[in-house]
C-alpha cells in the first residue's frame, strides 16, 4: 500500500472543509475603501505575527509547506494570487483577488501560493511567532504526519468508545472469568 492509499481513510487535524473564505468588514467612501481586522473578532485565532509577501517574480510560487500548529489568514492586500490547499486526501484552489476576503488555513493543511499578479501583496496573519520546527516542508513527510495523526486519532477514539461500553463498576478483572 502506498502512503497516498493509506490516507484514503485518514483525516488530518482539520480537513480541507475547514479552509474557508472570511468576509472582512469593508467601509466604502468617495475617498476610498477601508478594511480592518480586529483581534478576537474577525479571525478564528489570536494573532501573534503579521508578515507579507511582495515582489514575487512572475511564474514563481510561495508556500509549499504545512504547519504543525500554526493557523493563518491570508489576504490579497493588493493584486491577486491563488492558494492551492490539500489535507492529504482532497485538494482545492482558492483565488484571492479582493482585499476584504481572507482565506483561513487551519493547522496541518498543505499550501502552495501561485499565479501572483504583478504588484500583488499577500498579507498573512499568523497564530504563532515564527518557529522553523513548526514547518513541514517535505510533502512525503507531510503525508506521513497526516497518516500518523489519523492513526493516533483513531486509537484515542477507540479507547474512548471501549471505555463508554464498559459496564458500570467495571474495573480490573472485568469481565469475570
Cβ–Cβ < 8 Å for 48, 128: yes
Main-chain phi, psi angles of 34, to 5 degrees? -135, 135
Catalytic hit among 42, 65, 90, 129? 65
Cβ–Cβ < 8 Å for 121, 76: yes
65 is catalytic: yes
Element (H, E) at 130: none
d(CA 124, CA 116): 15
| 3-class DSSP state of 32 | strand
Closest CA to 122 of 61, 57, 76: 76
Active-site positions? 65
Amino acid at each position: 500500500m502506498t502512503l497516498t492509499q493509506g490516507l484514503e481513510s485518514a483525516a488530518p487535524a482539520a480537513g480541507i472543509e475547514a479552509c474557508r473564505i472570511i468576509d472582512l468588514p469593508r467601509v466604502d467612501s468617495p475617498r476610498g475603501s477601508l478594511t480592518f481586522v480586529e483581534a478576537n473578532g474577525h479571525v478564528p485565532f489570536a494573532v501573534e505575527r503579521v508578515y507579507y509577501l511582495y515582489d514575487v517574480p512572475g511564474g514563481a510560487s510561495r508556500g509549499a509547506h504545512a504547519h504543525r500548529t500554526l493557523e493563518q489568514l491570508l489576504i490579497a492586500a493588493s493584486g491577486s494570487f491563488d492558494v492551492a490547499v490539500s489535507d492529504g486526501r482532497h485538494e482545492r484552489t482558492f483565488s484571492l483577488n479582493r482585499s476584504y476576503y481572507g482565506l483561513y488555513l487551519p493547522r496541518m493543511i498543505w499550501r502552495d501560493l501561485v499565479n501572483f499578479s504583478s504588484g500583488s501583496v499577500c498579507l498573512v496573519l499568523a497564530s504563532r511567532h515564527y518557529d522553523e520546527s513548526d514547518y513541514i516542508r517535505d510533502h512525503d513527510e507531510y503525508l506521513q504526519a497526516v497518516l500518523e495523526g489519523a492513526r493516533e486519532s483513531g486509537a484515542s477514539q477507540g479507547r474512548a468508545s471501549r471505555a463508554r461500553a464498559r459496564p458500570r463498576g467495571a474495573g480490573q478483572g472485568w469481565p469475570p472469568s
